[in-house]
Structures are given as C-alpha cells and as structure tokens.
Amino acid sequence: MTAPSPTANIALLIDADNASPDSLEGVLTVLAELGAVNVRRVYGNWSKASLKGWAAMTHAQALDPQQQFDVTKGKNATDMKMVIDAMDLLHRGTVQGFGIMSSDSDFMPLAMRIRQDGLPVYGFGTAKTPESFRQACTRFIDVGALEAYAQDAAPADKPEVDPALVELLGDAVKASKRDERGFASLSEVGQRASARSSFDARTYGYARLSELIDALPNFTTERRDNGVFVKRVH
C-alpha cells in the first residue's frame, strides 16, 4: 500500500449514475491512504429520483454536486464533465492522486492518462465493473467488500481468489530478493504485483495483503522484526 501523506491533495470524482452512496464512507477511508480528500465532486442529473440518496450525502460528506442535464437520450454528459474536470485538476498540478467512483468502462482512458503523469488512481466499482477499467487503475476495489467493512462485518464467505492472482503473487515472490530459505519481503512482493495488476486485497474480503497471503495455501509467511516475509510452498 501507498504510505499516507497528510499533505497530499486527493480528488474524488463520483459518477452518481453508476455508484452507490452506501459505499462512500469506505471509499473515503481507503483514499486516506493517499492523503486528504479535499476535492469531492459528485456528478449527475439531480432532477432524477434515483439520485436522492446522493443528494442526501452532499451535506453529510461535504460533496460538491455537479449538475448535468440529459441533453440527448443515450448520451452521457456526466462522463464528459468528469473527464474535463479531471484533466483540469491534473494540469493545475494541485492534486496528487485521484479516486474515481464508477463501474463504467468509459473511464479507462482517463485513468490511464492520469497515471501517465505519475499520479495514483484508485477505482471503486461493483463486481461487474469491466476488466478494462479495473486494470487501468493503480488500485481497483470492489465496493461490495467495502460496504461490509463499513458495517464492521467483513463478509463471512470470502470471494474466491482467481488462480491467475495466485500466479501473479508467485511470480512476484520469484522476482523479489529472497533469503537463503526462499523468503521475500512482502512489501517488495506487493510492489512488484502492483506493477502488473490493479488488484486490492479488500476486493477479496481482506483488509491487508498479508491477510490475503495468509489465507492462501500456496504461500507461507513469517513475521519478523523487520516486517512480513513470504515464500511460495506449492
């Protein structure tokens, strides 16, 4: 995980049509890893009854509501305004990280463009979010897991870990510096895995990568004075 920086200015942009207000508290908690979420904008057509939940959150969470009328049926002015605002913030140079709350794959190019300038992008969406947007983000977190944590009730049934993720972590262990017993620093493993994938342990029902690794029979871990170390056993 990225170390928290109290002075970092973080922008959260919310696609109200494709996000649930029930997930907001968990999203803000995750973004605290990056810094202070000082820019909080939520986009939508506020005349829609379906956005009442978001309207109620604007004062409670200091959200800045951005009105976008549905000018043409089938055309999403909300997405366009979010992209324009994100690029404005990027080029002003006053923001050091972004959160994009949406399950819409249309934001894939935006996430990729922001990352090209070296800024982290955390994506927050449902389990149905297209893989293209997931992988475009520095981190992608399934908001379903976050809602459970917000209620102090981590899901009893953890989502199944994809075999591809096991291989990704195994490759990261192999590529990391290992001691004479084959153990590698979990911190380095996490950094190497993150360079290839946007996965986040919370998507699988675990608060930390160390907890996810502990739950996988393919790996064994050791807690040492200088951190957590991991080794692939099969």
Place of tokens 């927050």: 124
Report pLDDT digits (tens) over 108-133.
Answer: 999 999 999 999 999 999 989 999 99
User: CATH says 163-232 is which class?
Assistant: alpha beta
Enter the CATH code of domain 9-150.
3.40.50.1010
How far is C-alpha 161 from the geometric centre of its chain's CA atoms?
Answer: 17
pLDDT tens figures, 33-82 = 889 999 999 999 888 888 899 988 888 899 999 987 765 554 467 888 99
Over 70: is that where the pLDDT of 155 sits?
A: no
Domain boundaries, given as residue ranges, for the chain: 9-150, 163-232
β-strand partners of 228: 223
* Cβ–Cβ < 8 Å for 13, 86: yes
13-22, 125-134, 141-150: range with lowest mean pLDDT: 141-150
3-class secondary structure for the chain?
CCCCCCCCEEEEEEEHHHCCHHHHHHHHHHHCCCCEEEEEEEEECCCCHHHHHHHHHHHHCCCEEEECCCCCCCCCHHHHHHHHHHHHHHHHCCCCEEEEECCCHHHHHHHHHHHHCCCCEEEEECCCCCHHHHHHCCEEEEHHHHHHHHCCCCCCCCCCCCHHHHHHHHHHHHHCCECCCCCEEHHHHHHHHHHHCCCCHHHHCCCCHHHHHHHCCCEEEEEECCEEEEEECC
Is the pLDDT score of 99 beyond 90?
yes
